[in-house]
Amino acid sequence: MERKGIVTEHGNPVTLIGSALKTGDKAPDFAVLDGNLKEIGLKDFTGKTKVISVTPSLDTPVCDLQATRFNEEAQKLPDDVVVLNISMDLPFAISRFCTMKGIDKVKGFSDHREASFGISYGVLIKELRLLARSIFIIDKDDRIKYIEIVPDITHHPDYDKAIEVVKQLIT
């Protein structure tokens, strides 16, 4: 399914591939890769609250700041909350980025192989084969509690709102 009019890149309209998810939906599974090329999915985080920070590419300033900010926020969260960063970057580049930046609380994953996450969550950009900047917060029962798809992928998400939602889920 293709969706237009939701996201731009520097003001230029792009097409999202995949179904539009809504809060309350059961979170779809996905298959992404970690830095060792091990396949990881939603099921690997069963029983945890999941914050999924989606970035187009960690090699850009906004994505860098997004991963860094969520790493800082993750330090303050309990162990039953996991923060994932998913991008189309290669697994090796994600590992290198996290090591160089000291990102140790956010788990970085690559959707490069199959675009499984991008299609399942409706954030794969057809024209760029990148993921639209977005945030998904999923509760312990795998229900989507918060979605933000940033209107222009060059802009920041609402970090404070996302963290507020997480705090409401864990209190």
Residues designated catalytic? 63
Q: What is the CATH number of the domain that holds 14?
A: 3.40.30.10
What are the pLDDT digits (tens) for 27-75?
A: 999 999 999 999 999 999 999 999 999 999 999 999 999 999 999 999 9
Structural domain of 42? 2-170
Residues composing the chain: 171
Burial pattern 87-109, b for ≥16 Cβ within 10 A else e, equals bbbebebbbebbeeeebebbbbb
Q: Which of 59, 87, 52 is nearest to 165 (CA)?
A: 52
Report the pLDDT averaged over residues 140-163: 97
Q: Residue 127 — pLDDT band, cuts 50, 70, 90?
A: very high
What are the pLDDT digits (tens) for 81-121?
A: 999 999 999 999 999 999 999 999 999 999 999 999 999 99
Q: Residue 171 — pLDDT band, cuts 50, 70, 90?
A: confident
Which residues of the chain form beta strands (DSSP E)?
Answer: 2-9, 12-17, 32-33, 39-40, 49-54, 81-87, 106-110, 124-125, 130-131, 134-138, 144-149
Count: domains in the chain: 1
Tell me whether strands 81-87 and 12-17 are parallel, antiparallel or unpaired.
unpaired
Q: Which of 24, 164, 161, 35 is nearest to 106 (CA)?
A: 35
